[in-house]
Structure 1
């Protein structure tokens, strides 16, 4: 469905979280490389609980998180230190991370703060061993440009990345400490975005500026986008964990549609004088049930939703209904989900049981009933959460934090956090950032233009190189005298082809790539041999580039040896040469290169082949 976003009063903003590619973590000297869970050397467990802020307040999001009693397991590695395990105070703010953040601030025309104070932000979902995340405001009041107008940058923070969630299981969650503490820059825009398309363009622009520094990590999970969306009669909703830029406009559009649908439901509920009754136990109604889920439960609780009949099952997003929203809240409190009368009888629940359920809670024909089946404590918490969410449905759209789904929809995560979860970090002294020495890096868009004009690259290849992860290697190769086109095609095309052929290109170091390109420039390796040599180096990274040439059987041949091969090919095809003359060149060139197997440069082969054909055509 297409919406008139201006008429609806759409207001959106972005929060971009980007990992920085520094040598050390933000508050300790541990490396920032990721590890595999099976590499862990030990583990330990913690239980986390919320604490009051300096004002004596408890954050609502942290409080809800704490209502689910969970054990958190942390995997430590041979690179994990006591700071990461929260057994030692943090060190000073990493200077390299701060310098990179100041570069990013300059690219976005931000004003740098006079004094940067580290703050503690309470998080009790287990993603930090300490129970809080350290965050530092570095800059404010910036701006970026989009086709639909400028978008303000409200704030830029430098903070520590959370621990990586490995798996969730009964009773708890397992995290890996390899990611915890990686420097992370958080960029929050002002609510200046007025369409899904502008949201995506703004995110793309910020991403380009971040990559222009050459000092941010690349790859899945290294950048995350959160999107804040509201419409005039709706509420501010924060959608977390948007992994792909391609999803942003779909998510904004989907959230607008969800809020419109919830407002329509609220209007109808108000017309019906809807209300929510007190939850009650209805276990006896299902004493003889054939429903597997309910039969295996200790207790069944139900809540009567006056005036909700037919609305609990109404779709608000593709494959998501008001009942799905209620179910999200039940799941948040440990239950597997809910049943409701808009979808019953089904799932083994009979018509007779539905009638008995309605009678047990006093539901009339215009009422709906939602139920939860689980152990008594879980079922009680879950049905109370369902009742609370149903109450809100009568009023309209709740402010909340939601998780982005892959299909452009979203699910409830927790209430919106507030200021009550922030308080000063006493273990790390403030710093005074000095932006005067910061050099503003060349933008990627400017690099594309330079690569075209200075190096003669086509627009497509120039963009691939500038925006690709091997851009710094390309720049270094040019400094060492490599041919720009050869370097660009090697880094963007050859490596991609090798990866598709399951060659472990991740084993190739920058020095491998630069050395191979230097040998090509020196005439010791033909362009055609680059792929085979890189394959050998990827299979055995201990080899030097010269050893890779030998392993690939591509030790170069001199000019006379090339001529001998060319003559042999011509003599095998003597009749064709006599008949076609120079027109036979293309076919014979391929045969020559195949016979030489990349041991000779194509230009040399071409020159000698033309010469020898000419001799026989005169």
Structure 2
């Protein structure tokens, strides 16, 4: 990995953290916030979305580009989907539970709540919201978190509605699921105080810890997303969307610095060459007899091959600017935004069935010299024409250096072009939702997870490792509730962090277990109706038959607590069956017989009682 002097390059970075809140209902309606599989949908409907003008009559550039590709958006609806989610009814008032949670988060970051929170509309025409905009409200400002490289300011705290979940690409557009749409979402934006990739990662981890400290945020894949803003002194601000894993943030920042460094170097080289971008033109005739499958497929469908001459670009279109990504990849990203499958360019040709002779004919057709390059798009005529214009525009931007833009995060730590940076025309007031006046005076400040770890060790006598697992785990709120109801802390902790993990590894469908299932099982142990040893078996039964109650499942499976006479009877039976071993080995036979006794009792008895009675029976016969 290339090392960079981030200070010398003038690296400036900031974060936007988006975290779903674990509320009972959605932000502007009373629908549940549970996610379901798409096949659980009961119906669907379609929409077409178009950008609207702001109050000043302006159109947002990002929205305009998004709308250039005509697409149909299909929405999967469920038995709980309401008219608000379908955008057939105005939104209801802001959810009180969500607002209270956001105020707790604001306290943890030493932020100042606003006097009055107004809901705004943010134009979004990619289909992720049925209304064509996302609702968002500023709740607090001017906070701060600490990192080992200094303080990072928190600029704003927003309460937003989550977007619909993208399910699939269709022949006509995109399919979305509505179960995620409207889940309350907190957005935390830092100031551009981050100066290294490592500090970006540390700041994101710190914010994540503070969010989880509330015990009121959703956990699991897709419930938290990080956006990263990155620029270097000679580059430009680039917003990178959708970083799913915290562990990727430092790589994302490092690779974006490298990409901007390379784009600046390409700009300088193009300036030395006095490079320019020519006019797009139709070069279909050059490829009439081509053996290239991609090009021939386009022509057989009545399409065209469009080209743009790139004067002075030879060798630079194929130059790597990030791992496995080249300047030509950037051009291709822009072409794909207009429906094309990608581009070919002369830095990589002949290849893909295109011959030397066709490359020479292409160069002649557009009138370029050896120091020049050519990019082509083969597709339906309109798509090819729009796509090659987008390539020409991006090539012209390469002459200037690094473009300001919004990019998407890839799994390998690189990024891809998404759209231009949004501007102020994207936001305008939401007139259907009245403003609210946040009152933080009665909102308690949550206990930090770091403090919880120490308290769990001191108050509940948990080991450091188990205490940390529980505090940072998804079941922390449940642990605190059951312990408050007198359940043994060690039993609760091991059940939530060890037993459930082991059952999951054994392919038990633990995701089917509800909070009530686990609470009821632990309370049965606390009431003496179930021995500790019966917990895994009863959870297994409930996971496989989740419609049952814990009591009914225990009775059906014979997992209720056995009295002492029943336990002794089972122990005596095991000892008598192994009488010869007991006579030969005496108390040394205990270990093997203990396992047999527990198996015979099948979770009906506490291990301490079984141990006591087994020792007594062995001593009688030894």
TMscore range, shorter length: over 0.9
Structure 2: distance between partners of 1:406 and 1:422:
31
Alpha-carbon distance change, 35 to 364 in structure 1, aligned in 2, over 3 angstroms: same
Structure 1: distance between partners of 2:467 and 2:325:
43
2:420 corresponds to which of 415, 422, 425: 415
Q: Does 1:30 align with 2:35?
A: no
What SS is found at the alignment partner of 1:403?
strand
Q: 1:542 maps to which residue?
A: 547
1:530 corresponds to which of 525, 528, 535: 535
For 1:334-413, list aligned pairs within 5 A: 334-413=339-418
Q: 2:210 maps to which residue?
A: 209
Alpha-carbon distance change, 39 to 571 in structure 1, aligned in 2, over 3 angstroms: closer
Give 1:577 shift.
Answer: 4.4
Give 1:214 shift.
Answer: 1.6
Deviation string for 1:556-584 (max 9, x for gaps)?
Answer: 33223323433444445455545554444
Q: 1:224 maps to which residue?
A: 225
What SS is found at the alignment partner of 1:296?
helix
> Number of residues paired by the alignment?
617
Alpha-carbon distance change, 63 to 445 in structure 1, aligned in 2, over 3 angstroms: same
Give 1:523 shift.
Answer: 3.1
Q: 2:87 maps to which residue?
A: 86
Q: 1:142 maps to which residue?
A: 143
Deviation string for 1:403-431 (max 9, x for gaps)?
Answer: 11111111000011111111111222211
Q: What are the ranges of 5 or more consecutive residues in structure 2 without an aligned counterpart?
A: none
Please, which moves more after superposition, 69-78 or 246-255?
Answer: 69-78
Q: Does 1:310 align with 2:311?
A: no
Please, which moves more after superposition, 66-75 or 339-348?
Answer: 66-75
Structure 1: distance between partners of 2:567 and 2:131:
68
Structure 2: distance between partners of 1:471 and 1:556:
28
1:502 corresponds to which of 500, 507, 521: 507
Q: 2:172 maps to which residue?
A: 171
CA contact (8 A) 1:482 1:521 kept: yes
Q: 1:193 maps to which residue?
A: 194
CA contact (8 A) 1:536 1:551 kept: no
Q: 1:244 maps to which residue?
A: 245
Structure 1: distance between partners of 2:465 and 2:436:
43
Q: 1:554 maps to which residue?
A: 559
Structure 2: distance between partners of 1:542 and 1:73:
32
Give 1:500 shift.
Answer: 2.4
Give 1:177 shift.
Answer: 1.9
Structure 1: distance between partners of 2:91 and 2:230:
36
Structure 1: distance between partners of 2:103 and 2:514:
29
Q: 1:113 maps to which residue?
A: 114
Q: 2:483 maps to which residue?
A: 478
CA contact (8 A) 1:528 1:601 kept: yes
Q: Does 1:434 align with 2:455?
A: no
After TM superposition, the score normalised by the length of structure 2 is 0.96
Structure 2: distance between partners of 1:168 and 1:182:
23
Structure 2: distance between partners of 1:47 and 1:60:
19
Q: 1:4 maps to which residue?
A: 5
Q: 2:153 maps to which residue?
A: 152
What SS is found at the alignment partner of 1:395?
coil
Deviation string for 1:34-81 (max 9, x for gaps)?
Answer: 233223333222222212212222211111111111222222222222
Give 1:242 shift.
Answer: 0.9
What SS is found at the alignment partner of 2:175?
strand
Structure 2: distance between partners of 1:334 and 1:20:
36
Q: 1:183 maps to which residue?
A: 184
Deviation string for 1:305-330 (max 9, x for gaps)?
Answer: 11111111111112111110000000
CA contact (8 A) 1:105 1:111 kept: yes
Structure 1: distance between partners of 2:67 and 2:602:
66
| Aligned alpha-carbon RMSD (Å) | 1.7
What SS is found at the alignment partner of 2:399?
helix
Structure 1: distance between partners of 2:99 and 2:600:
56
Give 1:616 shift.
Answer: 4.8
CA contact (8 A) 1:25 1:94 kept: yes
Q: What are the ranges of 5 or more consecutive residues in structure 1 without an aligned counterpart?
A: none
Alpha-carbon distance change, 547 to 169 in structure 1, aligned in 2, over 3 angstroms: closer
Structure 2: distance between partners of 1:84 and 1:571:
68
Q: Does 1:598 align with 2:603?
A: yes
CA contact (8 A) 1:523 1:601 kept: no
Structure 1: distance between partners of 2:44 and 2:574:
66
What SS is found at the alignment partner of 1:260?
helix
Deviation string for 1:11-37 (max 9, x for gaps)?
Answer: 111101111122222122222222332
Alpha-carbon distance change, 129 to 511 in structure 1, aligned in 2, over 3 angstroms: closer
What SS is found at the alignment partner of 1:185?
strand
